[in-house]
Structures are given as structure tokens and as C-alpha cells.
Structure 1
């Protein structure tokens, strides 16, 4: 049931590949125009292929209006309806995160498959809805762009990523939820593309660059870190109590990486943990 990345139809993987390539470019100001061009091309290709219906195009238009509103506030100051862009974003966010906004053709790459005999079935998609949410926040909220990549981001991302992976994956092994299972299936490159543009960029933009940053401004860095990690754990509640605890612990690690190196560091830490989990251990968990 495995598919190689090169064996997938281009109409399925090209939009997500363009979105994944856009992510690192967006993190650095000098390459940001290239990043926006790649992201726009990704959605353009998807639209031309018919993967974006009328409701999805309406979501793109709404995202543009939210971005315009946020940027106008940054220039004109807090006069007027300052609550409108964040309110609109807050209403749009859960619908997109839960894949409930109609019109997006999130192509399934892999049907439910056991990667190892003892693993739970696993499937994944090339999502087009959730990246829009992260792109909207990144485009509209100036503090997030300013903290995209701080000096020392590479060391912070690798260091906190390695420590977080050791703690979280080690705890998963100790709890019996994970076991040694080295692998790199043929669809590994497609999984990596989906991870970069559809999981890591989305979750770190929202939870660290958005939620943790906002909480830290109001409550201080430590409370912001702890509360954002707690929320990150709770949104994984569908996976059971152990996943909630491990996700919250991971959120602490990603949050510390963000404090020291910005969004780039948090993303690198997150991607490193996910790569180690996918390539070396039971994925997603033992049945």
C-alpha cells in the first residue's frame, strides 16, 4: 500500500511541495518575497486543478481581508475596530484546523496502513486548509514575522529538539507505547513534505508564534510557556491521556526553543522530534 513520492500525480504533490518550500523562505526577511511567491503558486496550482472550490476561495479572500486589517492596524495604530481581525481569525481557525471548511480537496496520500505489524494504522493527507491559517497569521501579525528567526536559531532548534525528543520519545518507550522500528518507507519524502507545510509550520506558528507570544506579553514568559504547552497537550486529547502528557512536554521544549531562537528554532525542534519518531520508532504508536 506504499506510494513513492515520485509516483504520485503531480497535481497532488506540487501544491504541497511549493508550500513546504515556501516555509524556510518566509522565515528570513531577504527571502520572504520568494516565500510568498511559492505559497501563492501552490494555491494557484491547486485552484487551476480544481482542488479549491468556491468556499475555499472565499476562505482565501477572508484570509486576505484579515491580513489587510492586521497590517492596517500596525500602520494606523489602535484606533477603530482593533478587535475585528483577531476575532475573524479566531472564528476561522478552529474550522480550518478541524478540516470543517468546505471546498478544500485535502488529497489523501496514504490509506490507513500499519507501518509495522504492531503499529496503529496510519494515514496522511496533503492538506490545503491548515497552511492557510498559518500563512494568514504570519502575514498579518508583525511580531511573529519579527521573531521568525533570531540569532542562534540553529543551535537552539537542534539542542532543544534533541532534548525534547529524548524525553518525549523515551517516555513513550518506557510507557510501552513505542518500540524500536527503524524504517524509511517509499512515501517518506511525501510524508516529510506534508510535515513541513501542513504540520510543523502550522502548529508552531499558531501555538508558539501566536498563542505563547500573546500569553507571554500579558502574563510573562514563564506563564506564557506553561499555558501554551498545556493547551498544546489538550488539543491532542483525542489520542488519549499519555499523548496529552507527551504533547504538553513537547510543547515545553518547542516553547523554550522559540524563546531562544524564534519560530525557526521551534519548527526545527518539532521537525527533529517527528523525524526521529517516524524513522526510528513505532509510528504513530503501538496498537
Structure 2
């Protein structure tokens, strides 16, 4: 494995490790360094060696993480959250030229009648997702919370999968095509950790959550944040054309409802990856040409 691959693997582990308790067992927090932080440092070092990052990338990365820390220290001030969200968006949109996409597998035709598809791991987007997860997203912290979250999520998850892919079939964007290609494990891992986590952490864990908080007891808080996050999620997919944007908007509404029912980021992430995995494994991927 190349150092670029090592960097991607360590960054994926850092994202998983963000669910590890942020304080040391027994409350001895003074000398405690969260595992995600150690894995992030290792990923960055491997990335510098492997050419995934260049040295100037350390400046926006350090600034981003410091802003995230400030959102905790200055919880009553809005400006660190606003700037932090803007930095996360810039990272996710590849605004900084010092981060390289790492190829996971070369272009291959996964479905008859579909264009070839190549997979890349976007390190800057994954870093944005990690920072959002650590600093602003509300996550499950106990087994009982996980069980409660799953009970509320599963019905929305199933309905979202059926709605999105049903509309995809009706609009002739995809058709039934069950498969398990050799690229499936890599796709599922990268899509979960480098795509779904980052997108849900931003649109639901930051945007929807903060808008709900700002609306407080207003009747609008029940539905407006979900519609806004879903609409913006669809809008960012306009580059793929209106049909994709509409499907993404419907999917985004499902992710938003799942999050609204639980206020836990895992709910939106699970619903998102369920849609993407079902699309990849059971239908034309990425779409009919």
C-alpha cells in the first residue's frame, strides 16, 4: 500500500474514532488526547509524505480545527460557528488547491448502458466531515440512544430508499441491476466515511440543527429547517442536471426527516448510505447514459 493509501485509511479510522468518548475514562481529562486526534495527525503526516497534502494545506486545516474548538469554548457566540461552517464548505468544495484526490479504483463500467465510473477519496471533504462530527454534531453516546435512534430511523430509511429509487426507475434514470462487483467494498467504505458523513454533518448536523435552534419554539421549527437543508442538498447537485437535483432533493428530505426525528447525526448518515448502497448494488450505477 502506498503512503497515499495509508493516509486515506488513517483518515477513515479517525472518522470512526470520533465516536470514541472525548474524555478519558475516570474523568482524568487533563492528559487525555482523543484517539481521533492521534489518527488525524498520523493521516496528515502520511498524506504529506505521500503527496496527498502539500505543506500549505496545514494552514487551512489548523484554522478549521481551531475554529471548531472555538465553537465549544464560545458556545454563546455565533460567529465561530458561521466561519467554521464556511471553512467546512470550502474544504468540501475543494476550494484549497493543496489537497489531492486519491484514486480508489480506475474507471470501470459497473452496469450495462451506464457510463464508466471511477472512485476517488476526497481528503479535504473527509477532513471537513471529521471536524464537523467532532465539534458540532450531536452523536449517540450510549447503547440505549443507539437503539432509540434506530427505532425512529428505520421506517424513514425504508421509505426514503423506496421513494428515491422508485422515482429513479419511473424517470428512467436507473433500472433494476443487482450486482456485487469487486469494487463494492471499497465503494461502500469510501462512500460512507468520505461522502455521507461529510454531507450529513454539514447539511443536517450543522445547518439543520442550528436553524432549528435559531427558530426555537416557533411553529416553523417543525418543518422549515428540514425543507431548507433538503432544498440546498438538491441544489448542490444541479451540476448533474435537474433530474439528479430533484432526486437529491427528495433524498435530502428523507435524510432531514430522519435527523429531525432523532436529533442524532447517525440517523441521517444511515439513511443516506442506505440509499447510496441500494443504488450501487441493486440498480444501474451511476445512471443510464
| Change in 2 beyond 3 A, CA 1:90/1:97 | same
Partner residue of 1:246?
Answer: 247
Partner residue of 1:165?
Answer: 161
Deviation of residue 148 (structure 1)?
Answer: 7.3
Aligned pair count?
271
- Write out aligned runs for 1:13-92 (5 A): 13-27=5-19, 29=21, 33-74=34-75, 77-78=76-77, 82-83=78-79, 85-92=80-87
Deviation of residue 241 (structure 1)?
Answer: 1.2
1:220-260: CA deviation from partner (whole Å, max 9, x where unpaired) = 13111111111111111111111111111111111121123
CA distance in 2, matches of 1:257, 1:28: 23
TM-score, normalised via structure 1 length: 0.85
Partner residue of 2:27?
Answer: none
Does residue 271 (structure 1) correspond to residue 266 (structure 2)? The answer is no
- Gaps (5+ residues) in structure 2? 25-33, 216-220
Contact 2:129 2:194 in 1 (8 A): no
Does residue 189 (structure 1) correspond to residue 185 (structure 2)? The answer is yes
- Write out aligned runs for 1:131-210 (5 A): 131-141=126-136, 144-145=137-138, 150-151=145-146, 152-210=148-206
1:85-136: CA deviation from partner (whole Å, max 9, x where unpaired) = 2343244234322223111121122333321220123222111101121222
Deviation of residue 44 (structure 1)?
Answer: 3.1
Contact 1:127 1:194 in 2 (8 A): no
| Change in 2 beyond 3 A, CA 1:87/1:215 | closer
CA distance in 1, matches of 2:8, 2:152: 27
Deviation of residue 147 (structure 1)?
Answer: 6.4
Deviation of residue 159 (structure 1)?
Answer: 2.8
When the two chains are superposed, the root-mean-square deviation of aligned CA atoms in Å is 2.4
- Gaps (5+ residues) in structure 1? 1-8
- Shifted more, 267-276 versus 144-153: the winner is 144-153
CA distance in 2, matches of 1:284, 1:148: 35
1:252-281: CA deviation from partner (whole Å, max 9, x where unpaired) = 111121123310111111111111100110
Name segments (4+ residues, structure 1) moved above 6 Å: none
| Change in 2 beyond 3 A, CA 1:241/1:31 | farther
TM-score, normalised via structure 2 length: 0.84
CA distance in 1, matches of 2:50, 2:87: 24
Deviation of residue 204 (structure 1)?
Answer: 0.6
